[in-house]
Amino acid sequence: MRPARIVTHLRRRAGAALIDNFFRGISAAGKMSPRARQELARLKIDRDIAYQGTGHPDHQLDVYRLRELANEPPGSLPVVMYVHGGGFRILSKDTHWIMGLVFARFGYLVFNVSYRLAPKHPYPAAVEDVAAAYEWVVQNATRYGGDVDRLILAGESAGGNLVTSLAVASTYERPEPAARRVWCTEVVPRAVVPACAIVQVSDADRFRRRNKKISTFINDRLVEVSSAYLRGVDQRAPGMLDLADPLVVLERGEKPTRPLPPFFIPCGTADPILDDTRRLARALDELGVSNEARYYPGEPHAFHALPMRKPAQECWRHKFEFLHRHGLAGVAMPDAAPRVRVASEARAHR
């Protein structure tokens, strides 16, 4: 390896480790706060449930719901399947407990999913895993009180990519085994919420071509996403990347066999991958699919993951309003609103 490539490789590894440790630290510190402990105590959480019988620790999910709703009869609760972000390389359901908490405190039954990570497990491992989790949720949500006819797919960043791929697999009859697994459930989600999603993994340099101001540090992270997730994939094979690049599938303009569900697609205007959200909104418009793209001025990537901030509260409020309009409001008890500041604004929209 040439010296310049060695330096680039070491720089990227150091940057990846910094990002990983930062998000894990933020997650752990947040869970220790008195408010988070109080909110988590109000939930019934079933942890580390295997959705595949492999014994692999990443083939697990957690189930979140309000304690007072834990004994609801079958089919009572709208269901959220949440898929975490992290560039397909880092993080897990455990780092994304806040997503499970907020959805659950608004009266949703939440399945918070882990999946195998690149580069050790490159594409299509993550798609295969979330497809297996989707099948498991469809088959098992009822016994937790969930209504799979009110299934919502949600995720941010890489998770936004994966839930968009699941939406494609549920509506386009495709040949991939993972897609067949989703298709054969015969369940199409009622809504999809891919936040600040990278919905095309190939051609990571497109962001810098469009925005010359993207820093080397950020560009390294984007290149890492593509190179790690697509490691060893023959990118020239027709259709090979479709479930890694669901945006490209939608941009082809082919009508799905089953109607695509409505999409809520939020993103900050300071997010380096903002253009993918804009393209996704255009592609959905061209297909005649109901969608609401929301842009939050000056906000960075995954800003909504810090719900104590006003822009994040606004994003969550818009999200719950969208779900309410599509018949997917949570069923939280009147005194069970989350103790985040968005609660008082969103309560009126249940």
Under DSSP, the state recorded for 303 is G
Give all domains of the chain, ordered by start, each with its CATH number: 3-349 (3.40.50.1820)
Of the candidates 144, 65, 125, the residue with the CA atom closest to the CA atom of residue 101: 65
Amino acid identity, position 205: D
Beta strand 43-50 with 60-66: parallel, antiparallel or unpaired? antiparallel
> pTM of the predicted model, to two decimals?
0.89
User: What are the mean pLDDT values of the chain's consecutive 10-residue runs (350 residues total)?
Assistant: 50 54 59 78 97 97 95 91 97 96 97 98 98 98 97 98 99 98 98 98 94 90 95 93 98 98 98 97 98 98 93 97 97 48 33
Q: Treating both helix axes as pointing N-terminal to C-terminal, what angle do 3-31 and 34-41 enclose, rounded to 10 degrees?
A: 70
Terminus-to-terminus CA distance in the chain, angstroms?
Answer: 58
Predicted confidence at residue 23, as pLDDT, reads: 59
Looking at residue 38, its pLDDT comes to 86
Exposure of 117 in the CB half-sphere (CA atoms within 13 A): 19
CB atoms within 10 A of CB 41: 8
CA separation for the pair 165, 159 (Å, rounded): 10
- How much is the CA Rg of the chain, to the nearest whole Å? 19
**Predicted local distance difference test score (pLDDT) of residue 212:** 84
Exposure b/e, 96-134, CB count within 10 A at least 16 = b: bbbbbbbbbbbbbbbbbbbbbbbeebbbbbbbbbbbbbb
89 and 225 Cβ atoms separated by less than 8 Å: yes
Distance between alpha carbon 229 and the CA centroid of its chain, in Å?
16
